[in-house]
Structure 1
Amino acid sequence: MRTFADIPALLLAVAAAQEGLLSAEQCDRHGVGSARRSRLVRAGRWMAVTRGVVDTIVVPLRERTVADVPVGALPPLSRSDDAEASRSVRALRTAHRALSSADVVLEHRRRRKAWVGMLAFGPAATAVGTNALALHGVEGLPVDLRSEAALPHASDRVDRPGALLRQFDDGMTTVPFGDRRTGERQIASVDWAIAQAVPELPMAHGLAVLDSALRLEVLDRAGLALAHDHARGRRGVALRHELWDLADPRAESALESFGRWGCIEEGVPPDDLQLPVHAPSGRLLGVADMVWHLPGSRLLVAEMDGRAWHEGDERADHRDRDRDNDFAADPRIDLLRFDARHVRARTVGTQVRAFLGAARSRVNTGSGSNTGLGSY
């Protein structure tokens, strides 16, 4: 039986920082040459990703669990950059919140795609577009990203299987990313990454990305306007100009952004987001995700139930349940609850539109109903 020499600990530390990935250059530097890498891949101990890149995690990407995510991976830049001192307590809490196991795996999958692109094209490669946003910690991205990177100077390199080499934008600014294990690399600044990504993203994801950038305060309104200027003239942006106007930091999660976009598509955008709702006594019942004001001082409240956000957090789960019960017990409030299933089925907007249509019909006919919507 063939035995394998131990992989150098320093090389494994580099892999951990890079979501389990290594470049051929990094392996060579630590004494793991091409022949040895080939043996490790044939033996199923490592996995080939694309030319010049291997994965030290052999579990298929879609089958990975939180136990497979490397301990010590570089955190998103938005959680560790020097700009934290200027960010609000709310933004910092959002950036540093504990993630559910499911979200840890999803972030790993997104950031891994960014590392594939950078490692495939060498130390000078810059992560751009959605890949850069994943490394910045911006939320709302699709799970399965395309690995893409750019080089700052003209190059005769071409795409590699699973990794796209993009043109480096004239005037694009970059920020450093990396540590002693990886060496300093460059990724597109948030404004440029948004300009590159949003014109190519589905509308719901584009809105979620813009909401997230404001919520995390990695960009302010002026920075978002600058990103919009960078994006002008790109293919796809003409259909997405409205997203910049709709961006709202009050959306507390990508799921809420997706639900809101579904309502916008159906012509029933919410009147308010994250609205504090009080009982007649003045007691705060809770903060409603999306609100529509109805005649007679009534409210339609739509709650986006992001169970994944509270996985393992029993207190948060109970808090949401108590808030929903308080809403449901108040005769002035009509409550609709949605989760990721409704977003995937694209039924959030249609259900809200149907409810509002029925409410208007009852008002016009003066008929009563068990919900009290006839007593305006």
Structure 2
Amino acid sequence: MRHPETIHAQFWTLAACQEGLVSIAQCAAAGISKHAVLRLVRSGAWARITRGVYDTNPVSVRDRACDDYHGHVRRRAAWIGLLAYPDGAATGGCALALLGVGGLPSELAPEVSRPARMDAGLRPGTVLRRYGTFPVVQCHGRDVATLVHALAQGLLTLPRDHAVAAICDALRQDRICAADLGRIRGLIRGRRGVVAVRPWLELVPGRDAPPAETFTRLSLIDHGVPPDGQQIVFRSGDKFLGRVDFAWMLADGRYVVVEIDGREFHSGDEMLADDAKRQNGLVATDRVIVLRFPAPRDSSDGDIGSQVADRLHHLGWVPGAHIGPAVHLDG
């Protein structure tokens, strides 16, 4: 039996690139026999994920401690699919995870498209897609759908919130441009489910920053209170008071603003102190009402839209106003 400590270092380097996963073919190439793999699984050193795919990390996925835990879980799902199907290409959410796009669900189903027969050797726990041919990029020697194609595939397969957030995140990172939205629209044309998801593209051109802001904006839209402005700078005279995530203008000249908190986006004592100073400066003007919410995981998390809608209706807010990029409270 090949004990883990006797396996060549290059094998562990390969496993690390694949989120700790290896295929039976890679084991054989490293001189680890099927019987040795079976004994490693029986001893608890490795775990069998699906046919021909093994996890070399003995720690349960939910108990793993790593800085990018959710990213690890998503990329791990992508590698399960790629290792299960040597001729497959990562698609949809799995491709986006490998490409470093944010806004994805915390968990993904292993998903690939392959040129071989769809029903040939289906691996339990994986999803095969029928996409025909599409351009790919390489990720550690494996095929991954290019970004625009992956976003189009994700639009058809991901929940609305995450599909929209992924596209917004790619725009925020300047990895796609507005013209690419037209390409995405063309790629989904004629696909199953396109009628339902096509309107989601109209939800994309927001000026969102992190995905949590996309989820918040969708919740606000769903509850009938789309923001009058987003990423608005507030000033008093020559003094900068702060930039807020969302804002609404009231008939009496006051403003309601919503700020999204969360350690993923505002971390450390220095940032928290800066947030408090900014809020105090806004509130001190007596013209700004500040509402703060934890960063949501999707549009329903935290019931943000409902709470903001109740507050705005109570304050007599009327839809239709537009707030420019900057507000001067002394004007």
Equivalent residues of 2:21, 2:56 under 8 A apart: yes
Cα distance, 1:4–1:262 mapped onto 2, change above 3 Å: closer
Task: Give me the TM-score of the superposition, normalised by structure 1.
Answer: 0.79
How far 1:8 moved relative to its partner?
1.1
Q: Using the TM superposition, give the Cα deviation of residue 241 of structure 1 relative to its aligned residue in structure 2, in angstroms.
A: 2.2
Q: Post-superposition shift, 1:200?
A: 2.4
Q: Superposed, which structure 2 residues align to 1:1-376 within 5 Å?
A: 6-66=6-66, 101=67, 104-122=68-86, 124-154=87-117, 157-167=120-130, 169-178=131-140, 184-248=141-205, 250-279=207-236, 281-311=237-267, 313-340=268-295, 344-360=300-316
What is the distance in 2 between the residues matched to 1:21 and 1:249? 38
2:71–2:97 Cα contact (<8 Å) kept: yes
After TM superposition, the score normalised by the length of structure 2 is 0.89
Whether the 8 Å contact between 1:110 and 1:143 is mirrored in structure 2 is: yes
Instruction: Indicate conservation of the 8 Å contact 2:215/2:296, yes or no.
Output: no
Give the whole-Å Cα distance in 1 for the aligned partners of 2:148 and 2:253: 41
Change (3 A) 1:341 1:224: closer
Identity of aligned residues (%): 36
**1:36 and 1:61 mapped to 2: Cα distance?**
23
- Once the two structures are superposed, residues 5-61 of structure 1 have per-residue CA deviations (whole angstroms, 9 ceiling, x without a partner) of 612111000001111011111111111111111111111111111111111112121
Distance 1:361 1:27 in 2: 64
Judging changes above 3 Å, is the alpha-carbon distance between structure 1 residues 345 and 143 closer, same or farther for their aligned structure 2 residues? closer
| Count of aligned residue pairs for this structure pair | 316
Kept in 1, the 8 Å contact 2:219–2:300? The answer is: no
**Contact 1:138/1:212, CA 8 A, preserved across alignment:** yes
CA distance in 1: counterparts of 2:252 and 2:41, whole angstroms: 68
* C-alpha distance after superposition, 1:50-93 (max 9, x if no partner): 11111111212122111xxxxxxxxxxxxxxxxxxxxxxxxxxx
Q: Indicate the SS of the match to 1:285.
A: strand
Q: Give the helix-richer structure, 1 or 2.
A: 1
Extract structure 1 runs of 4+ deviating beyond 6 A: none
Letter in 2 for 1:339: P
Structure 1 unaligned blocks of 5 or more: 67-100, 179-183, 363-376
Native 8 Å contact 1:212 1:249 kept in 2: no
User: Aligned partners of 1:209, 1:300: CA distance in 2, in Å?
Assistant: 28
Structure 2: runs of 5 or more not aligned: 319-331
Deviations 1:282-319 (A, max 9, x none): 311111111112224322110111223344x3322322
* Partner-residue secondary structure (3-state), 2:264: helix
